[in-house]
Amino acid sequence: MNIKKKIIELLPYSEPFLFVDELEEVTENGISGTYTFKKDAYFYRGHFKDNPVTPGVILTECMAQIGVVCLGIFLLKDRDLGNFGVALSNATVDYYLPVLPGEKVKVVSEKEYFRFNKLKCKVQMFNAEEKLVCRGEISGMIKAE
């Protein structure tokens, strides 16, 4: 099976909280992938009356799922990941542009370090026009059994 599809299958998320559509590139040093925010997603109801935008916490979650969790699964590919846990340990993100319902974004992550199952990455999100939406540092722990 294709390693990119296998990584997505191993993610501990499902709809409506899965924010990974496709992984484009995966290496020991980084990852990139895309997600299109569904126009009818639950979080748009009430997140600004008559002018819905994607909440920053959801943008951060998308960046963490693609940029940290997917990369972590790849880095642990030689271990048995039948039952593993994920915990976000830190996120510092700056936001520059809104993401509207139906928009496709690309997440690009660069590994800063991976030791003792803690992964820290510099993560950026771009819109379809390749404009920077947000960027920051996100770290998390992956507990493999």
pLDDT tens across 68-111, in order?
999 999 998 776 656 667 777 889 999 999 999 999 999 999 99
Which of these is catalytic: 6, 22, 30, 47? 47
pLDDT given for residue 82 in this prediction: 62
Residue 134: CB atoms within 10 Å: 21
Q: Which of 104, 107, 80, 79 is nearest to 93 (CA)?
A: 107
Domain ranges of the chain: 3-144
User: CB–CB of 121/60 below 8 Å?
Assistant: no
Give the residue-averaged pLDDT of 42-52. Answer: 88
Please state the pTM of the whole predicted model: 0.93
User: What pLDDT is recorded for position 80?
Assistant: 62
Task: Quote the CA–CA distance of 47 and 61 in Å, as a whole number.
Answer: 16
Fold of 3-144: Thiol Ester Dehydrase; Chain A (3.10.129)
Question: What is the rounded CA–CA span in Å between residue 129 and residue 58?
Answer: 20
The answer to whether residue 5 is catalytic is no
